[in-house]
């Protein structure tokens, strides 16, 4: 089984399977998804990752 999702040209996620959801769980659980009703890769990275980049850095 592999993680899969279907997205539009504007990076909205239209559908995903369970593994795709698990791999991108931070995006699906983010406030941007709750506010806009649909997960979106661009909105997630611009609004959240840019604001808190240290939260996404790998620690040793």
pTM: 0.69
Q: Are 29 and 21 in contact (CB under 8 A)?
A: no
Residue 60 lies in a domain: no
The pLDDT of residue 17: 94
Residue 12 lies in a domain: yes
Residue 24 lies in a domain: yes
For residue 59, pLDDT over 60 is answered with no
The pLDDT of residue 43: 87
Give residue-wise pLDDT tens across range 1-50. 788 989 999 999 999 999 999 988 888 988 888 888 899 988 888 877 65
Residue 40 lies in a domain: yes
Give the residue numbers spanning the domain of 14. 5-52
Residue 48 lies in a domain: yes
For residue 58, pLDDT over 60 is answered with no
- Give the count of domains, the chain: 1
For residue 52, pLDDT over 70 is answered with no
């Amino acid at each position: 089984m592999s993680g899969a999702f279907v997205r539009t040209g504007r990076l909205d996620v239209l559908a995903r399977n369970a593994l795709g959801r698990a791999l991108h769980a931070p995006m699906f659980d983010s406030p941007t998804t709750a506010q806009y009703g649909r997960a979106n890769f661009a909105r997630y990275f611009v609004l959240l990752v840019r604001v808190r980049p240290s939260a996404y850095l790998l620690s040793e």
